[in-house]
Amino acid sequence: MTESNTLTVQILDKEYCIACPSEERNNLERAARYLDGKMREIRSSGKVVGADRVAVMAALNITHDLLHKQQHLDQQVGDNREQVRSLLNRVDSALQRNADEPSH
C-alpha cells in the first residue's frame, strides 16, 4: 500500500495542504502550477472578478481543452483503426491471391 504524504501547493496566492501518495507528488505539483497559471491568466485579463469566479472559469477552460484533446484522440484512434483494417484487408487479399495461384 502506498503511504500518503501531505503536499502544500500555492494557487493564486493561497496555500492548500493536500494528502497525496508520494508517487503522485510530482504530478500534483505540476497540476497545481498549471492551475495557478491558468487562474492568474484569467485574473490578469480583468474580465473576471473574484477568486471563485476565476476558479470556475479556469476549470471550464481546462475542461474544454481536455474534452477537445480527448475528441481529437478519439478521432485519431478511429482513423488508425480504419487504416489497420484497410491494411489487413490488403494483406488478406494478397495472401488469398498467392493461395489461389498454382504451385510449380
Residue 3: pLDDT band with limits 50, 70, 90: low
Helices marked H in 2-102: 25-45, 51-100
What pLDDT sits at residue 1? 44
39: number of Cβ within 10 Å? 22
Closest by CA to 51, choosing from 40, 62, 65, is 40
The structural architecture, per CATH, of the domain 4-100 is 2-Layer Sandwich (3.30)
71: number of Cβ within 10 Å? 10
Q: What is the pTM of this model?
A: 0.71
Per-residue cell: 102:
498454382
| In contact, 16 and 39? CB cutoff 8 Å | no
Look at residue 11 and tell me whether its pLDDT is greater than 90. yes
Query: For the segment 40-75, what is each residue's pLDDT rounded down to a tens digit?
Result: 999 999 888 899 999 999 999 999 999 999 999 999
Residue 22: pLDDT band with limits 50, 70, 90: very high
What are the domain boundaries of the chain?
4-100
